[in-house]
Structures are given as structure tokens and as C-alpha cells.
Amino acid sequence: MVGGSNEAFIGAVHRMGATLDGQIDLVCGAFSSNPNKSKKTGASLYLPDNRVYGSFSEMIEKESGLPDDVRMDFVSIVTPNHMHYPPATLALDAGFPVIIDKPMTFTLEEARLLREKVRKTKLPFAVTYTYAAYPMIRQAHAMVRKGEIGKVRKVMVEYPQGWLTGKLEDTGQKQAAWRADPDRAGISNCFGDIGTHAANMAEYITGLEITEVLAELNAFVPTRVLDDDANVLFHMEDGANGVISASQVSPGEENNLKCRVYGDKGGLEWNNTDHNTLLVKIHGQPVRIYRTGVDNGYLEEAALIHTRTPSGHPEGYIEAFANIYRNFAFEVRKYLFGEEYNELMDFQGVDDGFKGIAMIAAVVESSKNGNIWTKVEN
């Protein structure tokens, strides 16, 4: 693991998800740019001292020299955005597969270069767009593919949060501080952090690419440099269109991601606050409620194999990370040992990661240029 010290947030979440299925062990890490902090984190995780490194470059160099049955099999990168590209490229150059937190890179140019490198090396590569791994999102994805709601016409994704309603970044809160800093977060805060999840969900469920956007970014909190609110209209291929509303200054909201997809036969609705439920709205019929883990007779295989708990039991964030890591582990085993696995155990790859960065770039460009329609690079 690169990043994810004891003082970080997302690293611990990745570690829980990665180890949930017994497919993956944490064997080494460079957990911080501060070598002492990295050593302390490694000790708290009971790693041997000689497998805890002071930098990611030292880790990759020394692990490369270990025997095949001892050295790490892949690298997980959980750093702030500006430190995604350097360890990812170094790991790929050394022959190690990579799984990385979103957004994939700091800049669009880095995304282009990283996509080219992954295609050239053909190494397994994943981006942790967490919500796409929820069972009911897999169910929605499969139903759209089977034509159950007809031709997609409209997609509406909302992602309101309230945690940055005040200037939290000035209080020493680390998560707020780096996200509000252009030198570490990049060209966007709100859309780069949560809007990219919304865009990915729109594309994953529908199977359609977003082709252009018309966007307005706002920084409502005085003196905040990066956006804390985003409104985005978008066009998709095949004539569909949609809207993304993302905000980190919506008081009272926690993580209220909601997606609605409408076709010419019906619609689907999913909400992160009730993530075990998918509402199915076929035109002229009563609304149907699909539930995770309830009835194998109506749930798709793609949903069932990503479901872990019996009906009525909470299942969500950690399990979604676990789905991504488990599926990625199978891909690494296929790469290393030729083992085949169920193709429904997929994950978001380098093309999805690139599209996320391209969306951020297009949204920022549209907003800066007076809220005009702007093409999204593919």
C-alpha cells in the first residue's frame, strides 16, 4: 500500500475491503511521505520492519528484488490526488498491477499517459469507483442491458453533502485541507471528489458514454479557492441526456447519493441512504421494490454474486470496496497463474479512470468559459 497512514481516512477503508474475503494479505507499505509516520503505521499493522518503507520508490525497488513467492503481487494507492500518478507509473514499470483510489490522476495529461502505459504493459489495473460495486447497482446495470426499461432517455444523479458548509479546511481537518488545496486536489474539489462518482454511475448503469457537458461550478464559502458545488447538464451517446447535481455545502446532508434512470418503458431508482433497495418503475404498473439478498428468483446473477449478507442485514460501503478488491484479486490471479473467473466479477479499469479525469476537465472548462457545451475527451 502507498499512503493510508494511521492519520488517514481512506487507507483503513481500503484495508478492510481488501482483506474481507481472505484473498488478499497486506505484506508491505509506504504509508506516508514521512518515513517515521510510515514506520509507526506499519508497526501498528504488525508488519515486519523490513517490509515497511520510507517512500514508495524504496518499496517498489526493494520488493522487486524479493523472490516471487515473497514479494508483493500488486500495489494499492490511497494517497491524495497529486500523488497518484508517480507511484502508479513506477509500479507498472516494475511489472506490478495497480489498484488506485479515484480520481485516477491529478491532471488530464497524466491520465492520458497512464492509460497509454496500462495498455502497453497489459497489467491488471483498477480504479475504486465504490458505488458501482453495490449489489443493487449491479442489478440496475444488468436490467438496463437486458432492455427492461427500454431505450434510455434520461439520467438524473444527485450527490449532496453538507460537511464543507463552513470553512473546515482552516480548522486543521486533514480531509478538508487537501481537498480544498489546488496543489493536492487538482482543478476541482466538489466535482473532482463526488461529481466524478455521479458521472461514473450514470455511465455504468446505462452503458452509455457522456459526450458533452454544460456546467456551472460555485465556491459558496468565502475565500474558498476550489468549487464546493456543481450543476452539470450532459448529453450521452444514443440521444440520452441527464443532469448531475453535486454539492458539499448542503447542510444536513451526509452522503445522499441518488440515481434515477428512465427509459421509454420504465425507470430505476437507487439511493445510497437505502442502498439495499432498487425501485423498478415500469410504465403503467405499480412500483416494484427489489431488495438485496431476498429472492434469487428475480435478482440478476450480477447482483447475487456481489451480495454478502442475508436479507434485512446492512450491507454497503466496506462490502462494496471488498467486491472491487475481490474481483481485482481474481484478475491478478488470472494474470499470474492463468486462473479463469466469472466475467460478471468486473471492476472499473483505466478507461473508466481516464473518463473521470476527462469529465472533471470538461466540467471545469465549461464553467470557466461561461457555462457552454464542452466536449468530453474519450
pTM of the predicted structure, to 2 decimals: 0.95
Q: What is the pLDDT of residue 353?
A: 98
Each residue's pLDDT tens digit in the chain (378 positions)? 999 999 888 999 999 999 999 999 999 999 999 999 999 999 999 999 999 999 999 999 999 999 999 999 999 999 999 999 999 999 999 999 999 999 999 999 999 999 999 999 999 999 999 999 999 999 999 999 999 999 999 999 999 999 999 999 999 999 999 999 999 999 999 999 999 999 999 999 999 999 999 999 999 999 999 999 999 999 999 999 999 999 999 999 999 999 999 999 999 999 999 999 999 999 999 999 999 977 668 899 999 999 988 888 888 899 999 999 999 999 999 999 999 999 999 999 999 999 999 999 999 999 999 999 999 999
Taking phi first (over 0 means left), then psi (-120 to 50 degrees means alpha), and beta for anything else, what does residue 186 get?
left
> For the domain 135-309+352-368, what is the CATH code?
3.30.360.10
Q: What is the pLDDT of residue 314?
A: 80
| Rg, C-alpha atoms of the chain | 21
- Cβ–Cβ under 8 Å, residues 310 and 12: no
Report helix, strand or coil for 362. helix
CATH 3.40.50.720 domain position(s) in the chain? 10-123
Written as one letter, the residue type at 359 is M
Question: The cell 437505502 sits on which residue?
Answer: 274
Q: Which of 94, 92, 100, 101 is nearest to 123 (CA)?
A: 92
- Cβ–Cβ under 8 Å, residues 209 and 237: yes
Q: Which of 302, 267, 45 is nearest to 153 (CA)?
A: 267
**Beta strand spans in 118-166 (E):** 125-128, 152-160
One DSSP character per residue, 94-158 reads: TT--EEEESS--SSHHHHHHHHHHHHHH---EEEE-GGGGSHHHHHHHHHHHTTTT-SEEEEEEE
- Cβ–Cβ under 8 Å, residues 341 and 189: no
DSSP lists the bridge partners of residue 259 as 157, 270
Rounded Cα–Cα distance for residues 153 and 264 (Å): 7
Q: What is the pLDDT of residue 311?
A: 81
- Cβ–Cβ under 8 Å, residues 204 and 137: yes
Q: What is the pLDDT of residue 236?
A: 98
Question: The cell 454478502 sits on which residue?
Answer: 308
Please report, to the nearest 10 degrees, the dihedral formed by the alpha carbons of residues 40, 42, 43, 44 taken in order: 90
- Cβ–Cβ under 8 Å, residues 133 and 140: no
CATH 3.30.360.10 domain position(s) in the chain? 135-309+352-368
Report helix, strand or coil for 312. coil
Q: Which fold has domain 10-123?
A: Rossmann fold (3.40.50)
Q: Which of 256, 258, 262 is nearest to 270 (CA)?
A: 258
Rounded Cα–Cα distance for residues 316 and 16 (Å): 13
Question: The cell 487507507 sits on which residue?
Answer: 11
Q: What is the pLDDT of residue 310?
A: 83
DSSP state of 49: G
**Beta strand spans in 40-124 (E):** 75-77, 98-101
Q: What is the pLDDT of residue 295?
A: 66
DSSP lists the bridge partners of residue 75 as 98
- Cβ–Cβ under 8 Å, residues 228 and 168: no
